[in-house]
Structure formats: C-alpha cells, structure tokens
Structure 1
Amino acid sequence: MRIKISKENDELLYKLKTLYNFKNDGIVPRIAFSNSLLSGKMFDTEKEVIPSSDGKEFRDDKAIFGTVLGSGSNTIIFKSIVDQHYGKNTFEDEFIKLFKLHLNHGLNIWNNKIEKANISKGDHIDILLKIVKNGLDLRKNIVKTNFTSQKINPKEFAELLTFELGKTEEGENVVIKINDLREFDNRNIAIAGMAGSGKTQLVKDILYQISKNTNNELKFIFFDYKGEGNPEQLKPFLDATKCEFVDIVNDGGIDFNPFISVNLEERQRPFSIKAFVDTIATFVPSVGVAQKNILTNVITDLFDSKNGSYPTINELFENLEEYYEENNRRPDTLFAGIQDLTTNIFNCNPNNSDILDKSLYLNLPPALSDTLRQLVVFLLLRYFNSYFSSTNDCEPQGHIFPLRYLIVIDEAHIYLKNKNARKALEELLRLLRSKGVIIVMLSQGVEDYKTKDFDFASQVKLPICLNVQNKDYKAISNFVGTPSSKYKLETEIKKLESGKGLINIGEPKMIELRQWWKTKKEENI
C-alpha cells in the first residue's frame, strides 16, 4: 500500500518530528491520525476535497503504520479502527482517502495547539501526553470479536523461496527473496513491457526457477490470453515445471466445473450464487437487472433440484432454455452467453481432480471471443477466491511467509479496462495476499496499472518495468515507486530496451533480465 501525502502535511510532519526529536517518520502521522479519530470527526469521501499527493510518499506499509506486532505491517489494525469508526468495511482506496483526511485534520489540531503553546516551558510535551492519555482512556471500551476456525488446510511451501531476475550492469545477480517478510510485506508482482520486451520469457524463467526451487511443490496457473502457446514448442518448459498444457479449443475444454465456487451451505449459497451471476454479468454484454434476476432464480432452482451436488453448465443452459420457452422470452445476450459456455469449454465431470493440485498452462486462442476468454479466466479466479477465502491466513514462521499457489495473468490491461473486472481483481489482490497466493500481472504499459478508481501498483511490492512505449518519468515513477534520486531513475529509464528491466528496490537499478530461452539453452533443458 502506498500513501502519498500533501506537501502542506509533509511540512507539518517534519516540523513536529523535529520538535519532538522523533527518529521514525511514521510516529507523527500515527499520532495525528489517532487524534483526529479521538475527536469524533467523520468525513464523507464523496463530498470532501481529498488532500493532494504532492508531498512525501510512504511506499511501505511498515513505514507509516509500524510493526509493533511481529514482523508484519500493522495496517490491518488501523484499517479495523477506521472500519469501526465508520461502521462499515472500507476498501483500500477509500481507506487511503480517509487516512489522508484524518491525517490532515489531526496535524492541524496538533499544530494549532503548538502555535499557542510556550515551547520553552514544555507545553508541547503536555499536549502530547494529553493525546496519549485520551487514547489510553479508550481501553475501557474493548470490542471483542469471535473468530471461528477454518476447516480447509491447503498445502504450504514454508521455506525461503528465492529466484533471480538477472544481473545488474556491474554483473551482480539480483536475487528476490519473495516470501522473506524482512524484504517483502506482500508478494504480488507486476510487469510492464510492450511486445518484444521479454516479459513472457522473464515470467517463464521465474516460473521455472520457482518450480525448481520448490521441487514442484508450489503449483501455478498461467493464463495465456493471446493463445499463442504451442505444446511442442512449450514442451521443455512444461516438462521442466511439470505443467499440464490445456488449449481450451483444441483439447476440448478444461476439466473444471465453475459451479464449485458456489458454497453449498444453505446460508452461504445465496451469496455465492450472486457472486457467480455478477461474474457472468461482468463479461457478457448488456446483461441488466432483470436478466441477472432470471439467472439467479434459474441457478437457485437448479441447485435445489440437485440435493447437495453441483449442476453442470449444460444443465444450466437446459434450464435457462426451458425458462425462456415457458415465459415466451426471445433469446438475448444472456441466453447466448450461457449457450457459448456449453461449447466444450468446461468438462464438468464430478470425478475431476482439483485444479489446484497441478500446475496448468491455459491457452485461450483467438478462436474464442474476447467475452468467452475473459469469462473463462474470471470463473476460475472466482473459484480461487472462494477456495482460499475458506482457508486460514498463512502463519509466518519466523520471517518466512508460507506460500500456497501462484497465478499469472497475462495481458492484464484487457481486464483493467473493465470497471467490474478491476473491482474483482482488486478484491483478489487484497484477499489472497494473506492466503499465501502470489499474483503476477503482465501488461503492455506502466499506465495500465493506474486507473481512475484504483492504483494497482499500490498492491504490488515487486513492480518491474521493461521496455515500454510510454517512457514518461511520472508514469514510471508512480509504477516502480518514488526513487531516492530522480536523476538516477531518469538515467536508467533512458537505458530501457528489449531484454532489460528496471526495478526500484533501495535505488533504481537496470537489469539484464533472465530469459527462458537463454536458460533453456544454457542448462540444456
């Protein structure tokens, strides 16, 4: 999570930090934020003017929210406080807006008191102690939350996982310790690079290293949206990663029933069905409220008739077709969308093995419509969301965060253009980071990751910028993070070309990237 404060607040932060001789940049904002909440102040993000982002950037959760509890960030504690204050569950973009509003309010309250105080007499210390006392008084009102233990315990890789990105210009290997909490508080990766930049070859090399270094324990799924995968050409990669290749068209579909994302428990099932219907409506064009209600009712009746087992996509279409005939409805986009899903896309055999038990390269050729390709991807993502939601959060073992699965989403800009798909991806990134799932997104430009309603780079700890069409400094800086030296980043940007990548860990670095085709040749795979 990245939070960039206003220049005005930045100046107040520096003033107060210097006055109290605090060593940590995060102490003042935490106190100011808490002081604002203590005052009972409430903000409406739809009506308030959000403070600008022209000041200091806190790129690391730990820098601004601290790490009092263990080695992880305390972001969740502050978010819980905000959620309780406003009586609702806030999404990340709303939380950031509220944090900035309360930070601005709290800093001004604090500074106004300082302006009237006699510093030489130590009045500023009394002001701080009063804030602390008010906070301690609140401990009388403790909110207790009951948690129920989860039933699903997926396999975990609980050792340190490393892989190399390539070499610096000085010839040093760039080693990524992706699940070391001392280096990464989330494990999501975003790669930006135009066609021919080497991003697909880089990802394949990373997947090869991860498979090799985990003895193939950490499984993955690779969504090849372009559908250019050739099983013969991919054979060395597939063999090296013990990955199964499935071409949705030529192999007659994937052994997977999308309905298994629906919770069969009576109280949970209506919510699961709604989520399933929302996924359909996100990608099938012109599906309105009436059609969503029809689909919801048809699916609900279908589950009722199955007595605790899962229906198939073909059974869904048969029931939908029957509904349309009985109600004299003409076939529409919903009808056509569900009918398309019956054309050997999903093999809904109840004896299918769990898709999570193997690594999978899913080829989505252009013979499928864009609607179908996107729908297939998100029906699978819906299942991953549902499955991992029912698991416990991963428990760090020392500074190692256990890992359970890896998802690679190619051509991510296709989905980021769709408002509802963006929301689903945002939810996925937020939820699965605590579940031990690494999400890798590939797109053509750095600007693809920043939409008007969400900055996806804020959920990514390892952004890698390859050769991109738009080499605008501001766009790249927003993607990789504010550098320690603007000049250094500007210099490195000019060096971008095919096979090279830019990261900003500590400082901007240009890397000669590892490429699968080279590794295959060098290791004689």
Structure 2
Amino acid sequence: MADRLYTALKTDEIISSLRAFSKLDKATIARIAFTYSISLKGKEIANSSNFSGGEMKRTSFFGNDELFIKTIIKHTYSITNIEENDLYSNKSIIKNHIDDGAILLWELFTKNGEDINRWYLELVSTIKMSSNKKVKAKDLDIFIGRTVLNNQELILNLNDTTKHANSHLAIMGKPGVGKTQFLLKLLADIRVQSDYQTNFIFFDYKGDVVDNQTFVDVTKSRTYKLMQGTETLPINPFLLNSYSDQDIQLSAREKAESFASINAKFGPVQKGTLTETIMAGYQAREKQSNPFPDFNDILQIALASYEEEGKKDDTLIEILRDLANFNLFWSHGSSIPPLEKVSNRTMIIDLHKMPVLKELVGYLIIERLYKEMASLPDSEIKDGRRTIRTILVIDEAHNYLGQKNIFLEKIIREGRSKGIVVFFASQSPQDYQQKFFNFQELLEFSYIFQCEGASAKALQDILGCSPKTAKDLQTEVARLEPFQVICRSNSNTEEYSKFSGEAFYKNY
C-alpha cells in the first residue's frame, strides 16, 4: 500500500500559488482539486504521467475522510471495490483528479481576476458534495494568563455548560493596554482548538486586525476591506429563506427600523417610504432567478418615486445613494452568487475607511446572522460541552451598544442554544448598561483592562463583588499595567482575580 504520491510539476506550482493566496494548507487544496475534478469530469479523466512535483502523503490527504473519499470514487466510477494502487499511488484515480483539478482551479482563479474571495465563492457554489459530517462539540478550554499574586494558570472554559450559563464575553479598557492582543489570542486558540469548526465574524473598526497577516493566516480568515479598491461583501441583505408577502413585508419593516436606529434624522415618513420601496423592489424581481433586490434597485425605485411626487432628496436618499454607490454589498450583475450563509464563514470585515454607514453595515450583517440563527437546530451538547458555531466579534463596541439594535439583542438573548456567541471589545464597563437593554446581565465573561472613570456600580455589577470592593477597585483599575486584567474570581474566597493576560503576538 503506497503511503504517498507525487503530483505533476504544474500541480505543485499551482498548489503553491493558491496556498499563498488562500492561506489553505497543501493537503486541503489537493482535496479541493480532487473534489472539483471528480464533480465536473466524473470518470472521464486522462491519466497523469508526470511525477516530478511535490510529495503528498496519504495521511495528510485523507485526514479523517478516507471512507468518504472512497465512497465518492466508488459512486462516480460505479464500482463496488477499489484496489489500493488504484486508490492512492502515482498511477491512481486520486492522483489523476488532483492533477486535473489543480489546472481547473487555476483556470477558475484567473477567470475571477485572481481575486481569491471571488474564486472561493464560485468554487463552493459549484461543488455540491458534502460529507454530511456532524460538527462535534469540542472542549474550548483557553489559557488566558497567570494570576499576579501566585502565578497560577487561568483557564477560560468557554463552552462548559456545567459551569456557565452562556459564552458571551466582553473585554474593556482604554486603547493601548493590550485588549486587542488578548482578544486575538482568544480567537486564534478557539479556531485551532475547535479544528476550525467554530467560525467568527469580526467587525474591525480600526483596520489593525485585518492587516495582522499572522492572525489572518492562523485563523484562516477571509478579509474584506470595504471602500479600499473594488472589494465588496458577497452578502445581499435582502436574501430571505422565504419570499411570501408576509416575510417580505416583515423584512422591509425591519430594515426601516435598522435605518432609523442609527440616524436620528430618519423619521416615520422615511421609515414608511423605505418599507414601501423595499417591497416594490421584491415585486420587481419576483419572477427572476434571484427574487430579491439589491441597493441599486432600491435607490432607483426611491428616486423615481421622489421625482414623481416632486420631493427633494432627504436622509433616506442620501443613505441609499451611499449604499449603492460605495458598492458595499453584493449586487445583481456580479459574476459570483451571494453567500447563502454567513454563519459558517470566518470573516474580518474592515470598516475603518468608511466615513459613514459603519453601524448600518454592521446592523445589516447582524440582522442576516440572526435570521440564519433562528432557522438553525440547537447546537450539540456532549459531556456538558456545547458546540459553538459562530462568534460575532464587535470591536469598538461602544459604537453599537448605545444604539437600539433589536437583532443584536436577540442574538444575546437567544444565541446560547444555537451556538451563536457575541464577543465585545470596548473602552469602559459603563458601555454595557444601556437604558433600553442591559447587556451586562447576559455577559458570562468580562475582562477589565486599565480604564479611567469606571464607576463603582458598573464594576460591582460586572464582577459581582461588594460595593466596598468595587469602590476600592476604581483606583486599581485606573492604575493597571498593560496586559494586567481584573475578572470575576472562580474561587469562593476571593471576590475577583487579577492576572497577566496572554497576548497573541507572544503565542503565534
């Protein structure tokens, strides 16, 4: 039984190039090439006679999917048994499809202008095969630092349902004290320890995370730099599970509420107009293959309505014009289909170059995530560990927490059973107690870095300590060294823990 094969030289060159662009490992790209070729060509494949490329070990290629890959081959070739040399060797079916698939992948890449995100989206829309493997719960026990007093390790048991009611988390502190590095370390560990089954959607307000190439590589993230070149989010906010009149009307009203939440000038008249305009957009597209509008559709309908009524441009037109002209979201005419799901993607969305609409873009993505979450079955619990599907990461969260975002509130309240978690990073403990919604009550984990002006009441509520301890901590929190953190204690004898937090750059 051969334990390795050698690809064609051209295949090796293609895999190396795609690896540099995609950040996927060599074996993963080889499996994609195999699957792509066998799904498009079937058994009508030429033998590959070039062996001067790179080595591909059997264990690396198959991973845990040998039975599944054998089943694909048997089904495609209409055979009940397969000899080992025909399965995996320099003269095997797998080698033939890897070499053929690599060329197909490169042709697809060049067709999409060597844009790795467009390549990836067209690729996944083409390959329909799936192993149907169930995502299994992992033990997400994350090392977060050592206590200052006795140098003991602190472990975050993120998904342990026997200890914690949920997995929502907040990090707070002023700029430059280490909270972003601490957050990145948490996310990298979660990705690695979950075997990349737990995803995240990261709203990057400062643009420093999207430019951290090591973090992007370690977490295998897709980056989207909005308003920087021609990059567009492959997401259409108007895509629905059902296009009944009731679903369309509800979605239109919810969009109008989102617009109003982030702009005080957006009044009842504009809300009503936007609702009617969105419904008209669906009606105009109802008989087409993609029965949903894009923002250019909505803008053109609104402009025509305003012209007919002799109305001047107002806040609604201004917002719609920005959304359409800045080309932020997927639009009709795109060479790739919109994402059907966002909850199974790991994405960093860079918002820092946007002069306006930061919060609205976030709202629309959060709404989309909530709609998907509501349709998901409950995530699996095994031995007390719940599978975490996706983490919504909101940097500079004070920009969101003061707005009334019904979908963020619903994710916080309802996400536990679905395996959808929210991580916040903000500047102050006071950010989480809003008049309309108390986020703090639903935060299971809170980490306080150096911050100024923290109220004793906020510290008491977040840490669960006594009023006297909270009062004493006001001064200590203001004087914490970089990477020193205060959190709720796991001990019955201490009201809080003080520890030195781990940084991403020291671990990866």
Give the TM-score taking structure 2 as reference length: 0.67
Q: Please tell me whether residue 358 in structure 1 is matched to residue 345 in structure 2.
A: yes
* SS of 1:330 mapped into structure 2: coil
- TM-align CA RMSD: 2.4
Cα deviation for residue 273 of structure 1 reads: 1.8
Q: Describe the superposition over 1:493-522 as per-residue Cα deviations: whole angstroms up to 9, x where unpaired.
A: 4762211111113331111001112223xx
Cα distance in 1, alignment partners of residues 407 and 354 from structure 2: 22
What is residue 460 of structure 1 aligned with on the other side?
443
Q: Relative to 1, partners in 2 of residues 1:509 and 1:301: Cα closer, same or farther, differing over 3 Å?
A: same
Counterpart among 429, 434, 450 of residue 417 in structure 2: 434
Inter-partner Cα distance in structure 2 for 1:196 and 1:157: 37
Is contact 1:284–1:334 with CA below 8 Å preserved after alignment?
no
Match of 1:449 among 427, 432, 449: 432
SS at structure 2 position matched to 1:260: coil
Q: Percent identity?
A: 26
SS, match of residue 361 in structure 1: strand
Shift of 1:424: 4.2
The residue aligned with 2:236 is 257
Say whether the 8 Å CA contact 2:460–2:467 is kept in structure 1: no
Cα distance in 1 between the residues matched to 2:377 and 2:458: 37
Task: Please point out which of 202, 208, 214 is paired with 2:182.
Answer: 202
Tell me how far 1:375 sits from its aligned partner: 0.5
Deviation at 1:485, TM superposition (A): 8.6
Instruction: Between 448-457 and 400-409, report the one with greater CA deviation.
Output: 448-457
Q: Which residue of 1 aligns with 2:376?
A: 391
**What SS does the corresponding residue of 1:256 show, helix, strand or coil?**
coil
CA contact (8 A) 2:390 2:421 kept: yes
State the Cα deviation string for residues 77-127 of structure 1 (Å, max 9, x = none).
xxxxxxxxxxxxxxxxxxxxxxxxxxxxxxxxxxxxxxxxxxxxxxxxxxx
Q: Deviations over 1:226-255 (max 9, x none)?
A: 234453xx1111011001121101143211
1:515 aligns with 2:503: yes
How many Å separate the matches in 2 of 1:408 and 1:320?
A: 33
The answer on whether the counterparts of 2:168 and 2:423 sit within 8 Å (CA) in structure 1 is: yes
Give the alignment of 1:144-163 within 5 angstroms.
156-163=135-142
Q: Distance in 2 between matches of 1:284 and 1:450?
A: 21
Q: 2:485 aligns with which of 494, 501, 512?
A: 501
Measured at CA, do residues 250 and 451 of structure 1 come closer, stay the same or move farther in structure 2, by a change above 3 Å?
A: same
What is the alpha-carbon distance in structure 2 between the residues aligned to residue 219 and residue 327 of structure 1? 47
Measure how far apart 1:400 and its partner are.
1.5
Q: Structure 1 residues 368, 511: CA separation in 2 closer, same or farther (over 3 Å shift)?
A: same
1:284-318, CA deviations, whole angstroms, 9 ceiling, x for partnerless residues?
Answer: 44121121111111111211221261211111111
Task: Give the Cα separation in 2 of the matches to 1:206 and 1:396.
Answer: 21
Q: Do structure 1's residue 269 and structure 2's residue 252 form an aligned pair? A: no
Cα shift readout 1:167-215 (whole Å, capped 9, x = no counterpart): 1122222111111111111110011111111111111111110111012
Q: Are the structure 2 counterparts of residues 311 and 188 from structure 1 closer, same or farther at C-alpha, using a change threshold of 3 Å?
A: same
Return the alpha-carbon distance in structure 2 between the equivalents of residues 413 and 172 of structure 1: 32
Q: 1:465, 1:480 within 8 Å by CA — same for their partners in 2? A: no
CA contact (8 A) 2:344 2:389 kept: no
The answer to whether the 8 A contact 2:147-2:498 is kept is yes
Q: What is the rounded CA distance, in whole Å, between the counterparts of 1:187 and 1:442 in structure 2? A: 15
Q: 2:257 aligns with which of 272, 278, 291?
A: 278
Q: Does 1:238 align with 2:216?
A: yes
**1:315 matched to which residue of 2?**
297
Question: What 5-or-longer segments of structure 1 have no aligned partner?
Answer: 1-152, 521-525
Structure 1 partner of 2:192? 212
Matching residue's letter, 1:503: C
- Kindly indicate whether residue 163 of structure 2 is the aligned counterpart of residue 183 of structure 1: yes
2:386 counterpart SS class: coil
How far 1:487 sits from its partner (Å)? 8.3
1:369 to 346, 355, 358: 355
- Any conservation in 2 of the 1:247–1:364 contact (CA below 8 Å)? yes
The correspondence for 2:327, drawn from 326, 340, 344, is 344
Is 1:378 the counterpart of 2:363? The answer is: yes
Task: Supply the distance in 2 between the matched residues of 1:403 and 1:297 (Cα, whole angstroms).
Answer: 38
CA-CA distance at 1:474 after TM superposition: 3.1
Tell me the SS of whatever aligns to 1:226: coil
Q: Which residue of 272, 295, 306 corresponds with 2:285?
A: 306
The structure-2 alpha-carbon separation of the partners of 1:434 and 1:472, relative to structure 1 and needing over 3 Å to count, comes to same
2:112 equivalent in structure 1: none
Secondary structure (helix, strand or coil) at the match of 1:159 reads: coil
TM-score normalised over the length of structure 1: 0.65
2:370 and 2:407 in contact (8 A); partners too: no
Separation in structure 2 between the aligned mates of residue 442 and residue 261 of structure 1, nearest angstrom: 30
Separation (CA, whole Å) in 2 of partners of 1:363 and 1:264: 31
Q: Which amino acid aligns with 1:455?
A: N
Deviations 1:65-84 (A, max 9, x none): xxxxxxxxxxxxxxxxxxxx
Check conservation: 2:456, 2:470, Cα contact below 8 A. no
Quick one: structure 1 residues 492 and 284, their matched pair in 2 at CA, closer, same or farther if it must change by over 3 Å?
closer
Tell me, yes or no, if the aligned pair for 1:261 and 1:387 is still in contact at 8 Å. Answer: no
Tell me, in whole angstroms, the C-alpha distance in 2 between the residues paired with 1:263 and 1:414: 32
CA contact (8 A) 1:254 1:347 kept: yes
Distance 1:274 1:320, change over 3 A: same
Q: Quote the Cα distance in structure 2 between the aligned partners of 1:284 and 1:207.
A: 32
1:483-494 counterparts in 2 under 5 A? 486=469, 490=473, 493=477
CA–CA separation in structure 2 for the residues paired with 1:296 and 1:262 = 19
Q: In 1, distance between residues paired with 2:249 and 2:204?
A: 32
Partner of 2:269: 290
In 1, distance between residues paired with 2:298 and 2:316?
Answer: 12
Output the CA distance in 1 between the equivalents of 2:320 and 2:446: 37
- The aligned amino acid for 1:519 is N
Report the Cα distance in structure 1 between the residues aligned to 2:135 and 2:205, rounded to whole angstroms.
Answer: 28
SS at match of 1:430: helix
Separation in 2 of the partners of 1:389 and 1:339? 31
State the AA in 2 paired with 1:375.
L
CA deviation string 1:348-374 (max 9, x = no partner): 346133333321111112x4234x111
Partner Cα distance (2:133, 2:171) in 1: 28
Residues in 2 aligned to 1:240 and 1:489: alpha-carbon distance in whole angstroms: 40
